[in-house]
């Protein structure tokens, strides 16, 4: 399994501000997919955003965007205009050719009102 590293166990952000979550991964594959998932207290896994490795353009979904640096094997998530509902645990995930997902340790995001 690929190694996915999230070095920030916890992050706190003021409502309406921006927060960036870091993620790095290790792989020898050239084609793969990267995902960010949100897991609120309900523990439901919610897909936030996805990125194909062969695409140079960074993915964007409304207030969520990524900074994908393939050479550096880095895949950070930026949450803009943070809302109270963004509070959750966020997981970075790597999907290999066998369709398996490898998850990072997760980052708990707290949003301050």
Partner 1 sequence: GAVVSQHPSRVICKSGTSVKIECRSLDFQATTMFWYRQFPKKSLMLMATSNEGSKATYEQGVEKDKFLINHASLTLSTLTVTSAHPEDSSFYICSARARGEGWSNQPQHFGDGTRLSIL
Beta strands in the chain (DSSP E): 3-5, 10-14, 19-21, 24-26, 33-39, 46-52, 60-61, 64-69, 74-79, 88-95, 101-103, 107-112
Minimum CB distance to partner 1 smaller for 16 or for 47? 47
Binding residue for partner 1, selected from 22, 24, 64, 89, defined by CB under 8 A: 89
Site stretch for partner 1 (CB under 8 A), options 12-20, 22-30, 66-74, 96-104: 96-104
10 phi, psi to nearest 5 deg: -140, 145
Task: Check if the beta carbon of residue 92 is closer than 8 Å to that of residue 75.
Answer: yes
Site stretch for partner 1 (CB under 8 A), options 13-21, 22-30, 70-78, 101-109: 101-109
Binding site for partner 1 (CB under 8 A): 1, 33, 35, 42-45, 47, 50, 52, 89, 91, 95, 97, 99-106, 108
């Amino acid at each position: 399994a690929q190694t996915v590293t999230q070095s920030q166990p916890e992050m706190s952000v003021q409502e309406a501000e921006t927060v960036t979550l870091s993620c790095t991964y290790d792989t020898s594959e050239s084609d793969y997919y990267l995902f960010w998932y949100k897991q609120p207290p309900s523990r439901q896994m919610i897909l936030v955003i996805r990125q194909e490795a062969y695409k140079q353009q960074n993915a964007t979904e409304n207030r969520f965007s990524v900074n994908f640096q393939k050479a550096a094997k880095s895949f950070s998530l930026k949450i803009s205009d943070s809302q109270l509902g963004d509070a959750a645990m966020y997981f970075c995930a790597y999907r290999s050719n066998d369709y398996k997902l490898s998850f990072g340790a997760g980052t708990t995001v707290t949003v301050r009102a």
